[in-house]
Structure 1
Amino acid sequence: MKTIIVGTRQSTLALGQTEQVVEQLQRISDEHGLGCNFEIKKIITKGDRILDVTLSKVGGKGLFVKELEQGLLDGEIDMAVHSMKDMPFELPEGLVVGAVPIREDARDCIITRGHRSLDELPQGALVGTSSLRRASQMQHYRPDLRIESIRGNIDSRLRKLEAEDFDAILLAAAGLHRLGWQDRISAYLPPEICLPAVGQGALCIECRGGDAFMLDLLSRFQDASTALAVRAERSFLGRLQGGCQVPLGAFASVSAESSGGRPLLTLTGMVGSPDGQEVLKESASGTDPEALGLLVADQLIARGADRILAAVRE
């Protein structure tokens, strides 16, 4: 048997989704006679340690992945399971995305007292989120809402909704789905109101670029449509040099229709000011995911997105 050490953060969600990945990889290994045995190793990241500061103020990229990547580079783990939305555009030399499995629901959702929808919240309701992207779009759609930062894992944020004065909190639906907590969701936020983060709902399985065995195993776990969509979104991210410090979102869908035998993608991207006064959106379609991401980013830059992002970074 070949033992594969799988690195993950230690939150309830990270462990839950890693266990699901390991279960599926074990099935693949057994079906193909690869003789794998998986062990999970928990690693604490900078983003997990600093919980009293908003993500936009912690600074730096890869807040939830750097320690896992160091574990890969040092040979302490053989693969790492990340939420794709946590991944910086550039990976360290020697590391690659080994697989992007099928995507969960990419939408954001709202959890409220009394299972009210966003439109049913009273004037001046207090809404908690750790995301500048969500805050910007919420303030744009409902300027009357009071937005406050709320950090912590999903379970701790849900507890804060009950224990503190929040009327609602905003979360990624995918995490609640993976934990089997869909019943906590009061309403889903359509992308027209709240465009998701780049890669939201998708996982990234990272490994060493020279590990032929891992690359072969993970290639059997790849979902082609999800990988294409994520490539377009991450191309958009790279062009705008985005991260969790800026209000930026993107979502790509893959059409069953094709052009010249290639799947057709439609990508929508957004950049907004933190106060929601400006929210810019552009959409385009194409068959080349990288070119499509650059096109939508450049359309936004032409409308002033670079000015908005520069002001946020300053």
Structure 2
Amino acid sequence: AFQVVNFRGNVQTRLRKLKEGDVHATLLALAGLKRLGMPETATSVLSVDEMLPAVAQGAIGITCRSNDDKMMEYLSSLNHEDTRLAVACEREFLSVLDGNCRTPIAAYAYRDKDGNCSFRGLLASPDGSIVYETSRSGTYSLDDMVAIGQDAGHELKSKAGPGFFDGLQ
């Protein structure tokens, strides 16, 4: 039988525990394995269709003083607009669900082949026994994508009902 267990530690610790037989498998970010010079450790790469990523997975956020015009101008040149809009959509979804680093919530927004926003979101119980999913599409603009994230979040919040995450540590 397949059993999901809490499995914490840095990459090396997790791989050691895997080798020692504490668990039969683990999920690790390929980007992290590449950064550590260990890409060959990956035996399989999951597609977004197989497993939705965490909200804003892979995006980098930078903050600076709001009155530092020179830095703002420099940082704006680093901005990738499609990613900024996708992250806004996903984070709005997370916000409506009151999500945090311990809640099993996933979302993925992207520009599809027609140039529109395609969004998928997921909310699961901590043990994974209950899963709610939704999808949306719309124009690839900030206002519409924020609305997509809000609407999707409200749908799953309604489906899950009050107290869905009660007892989550």
1:230 aligns with 2:87: yes
User: Between the two proteins, what is the percent identity of the paired residues?
Assistant: 38
| Structure 1 Cα separation of the partners of residues 51 and 167 of structure 2 | 19
Question: Structure 2 vs 1, CA of residues 305 and 197 (structure 1 numbering), >3 Å: closer, same or farther?
Answer: farther
SS of residue matched to 1:282:
strand
Question: Structure 2 vs 1, CA of residues 166 and 215 (structure 1 numbering), >3 Å: closer, same or farther?
Answer: same
The counterpart of 2:48, out of the listed 187, 191, 199, is 191
| Structure 2 Cα separation of the partners of residues 227 and 177 of structure 1 | 24
Pairwise CA RMSD: 2.1
Residue 236 of structure 1, CA deviation: 0.5
Question: Structure 2 vs 1, CA of residues 306 and 180 (structure 1 numbering), >3 Å: closer, same or farther?
Answer: farther
Match of residue 279 from structure 1: 131
| Structure 2 Cα separation of the partners of residues 163 and 219 of structure 1 | 47
Structure of larger gyration radius: 1
1:297 aligns with 2:153: yes
Q: Which runs of 5+ in 2 are unaligned?
A: none
Q: 1:240-255, aligned counterparts within 5 Å? A: 240-255=97-112
The answer (yes or no) to whether the contact 1:239–1:294 under 8 Å persists in 2 is: yes
1:154 aligns with 2:11: yes
Question: Structure 2 vs 1, CA of residues 150 and 265 (structure 1 numbering), >3 Å: closer, same or farther?
Answer: same
| Structure 2 Cα separation of the partners of residues 208 and 164 of structure 1 | 48
Q: Which runs of 5+ in 1 are unaligned?
A: 1-143, 259-263
| Structure 1 Cα separation of the partners of residues 125 and 37 of structure 2 | 34
1:166 aligns with 2:18: no
| Code of the aligned partner of 1:176 | L
| Code of the aligned partner of 1:160 | K
| Code of the aligned partner of 2:136 | A
| Structure 2 Cα separation of the partners of residues 202 and 245 of structure 1 | 19
SS of residue matched to 2:56:
coil
SS of residue matched to 1:229:
helix
Match of residue 308 from structure 1: 164
The answer (yes or no) to whether the contact 2:118–2:136 under 8 Å persists in 1 is: yes
SS of residue matched to 1:250:
strand
What is the aligned residue count? 165
Residue 306 of structure 1, CA deviation: 4.6
The answer (yes or no) to whether the contact 1:273–1:312 under 8 Å persists in 2 is: no
| Structure 1 Cα separation of the partners of residues 50 and 114 of structure 2 | 26
| Structure 2 Cα separation of the partners of residues 230 and 173 of structure 1 | 20
Question: Structure 2 vs 1, CA of residues 295 and 190 (structure 1 numbering), >3 Å: closer, same or farther?
Answer: same
SS of residue matched to 1:151:
coil
| Structure 2 Cα separation of the partners of residues 313 and 167 of structure 1 | 25
Which fold has the larger relative contact order, with Cα–Cα distance below 8 Å and residues 6 or more apart in sequence? 1
Question: Structure 2 vs 1, CA of residues 153 and 290 (structure 1 numbering), >3 Å: closer, same or farther?
Answer: same
1:149-177 alpha-carbon deviations (Å, 9 max, x no partner):
22222233223322452211112233223
